[in-house]
Amino acid sequence: MPPILQRLQQATKMMSRRKILLLVLGCSTLSLLIHQGAQLSWYPRLFPLSCPPLQDSPPRPKHMTVAFLKTHKTAGTTVQNILFRFAERHNLTVALPHPRCEHQFCYPRNFSAHFVHPATRPPHVLASHLRFDRAELEGLMPPGTVYVTILREPAAMFESLFTYYNQYCPAFRRVPNASLEAFCAPQGY
């Protein structure tokens, strides 16, 4: 075969390959658009033409039960608030401490299911301070509960604890000028 014909044949092959590729690409893009449009309805969100319909109830999340081990000075109150709002939104029961435990689950005693107010049992959400006891929590919370906590870098957390509790904790109250430097001084104070 003359080289010019060979080159022509190659060019035709490349063209048809390119065409097939383009066709496949076009089809998958179209199917993706139709699919996504139906599933996630991003189109009306991107181009809102009218007000979205009001939802009777919010979409059901994957997990509805959560036990949050709230620790001190780790942004736990922020997360607790988020969880309380989540519970309110989804009409969930929140475990609240028994009045004799005050606002924490009788901290620093090891957690017991008896520390939970009977009117808030069985709970879906638990997010107040407690000292972790796995068996007691597992007995209280429904199966499939998600357990969450927050860990903070220890030195930063201690600094925060020291400032927060310096008039409360006896060991900190003794420190002159509530000074962390004085507390940490190797010669003592």
Question: Would you say 2 or 188 has its CB closer to ligand NAG?
Answer: 188
The one segment of 22-30, 137-145, 153-161, 175-183 that binds ligand NAG by CB under 6 A: 175-183
Q: Please, which residues have CB within 8 angstroms of residue 134's CB and are 6 or more apart in sequence?
A: none
Strand partners, 146: 66
Q: Of residues 143, 154, 176, 186, which one binds ligand NAG by CB under 6 A?
A: 176
CB of 46 to ligand NAG, least distance (A): 32
Q: How far is the CB of 39 from ligand NAG (least distance, A)?
A: 27
Query: What's the length of the chain?
Result: 189
CA distances from 47 to 24, 58, 126 (A): 28, 22, 40
Tell me how far, at minimum, the Cβ of 109 lies from ligand NAG, in Å: 7
* Residues within window 100-129 making contact with ligand NAG, judged by CB under 6 A: 110
Least gap, CB of 65 to ligand NAG (angstroms): 13
Dump the DSSP string for 5-33: HHHHHHHHHHHHHHHHHHHHHHHHHHHHH
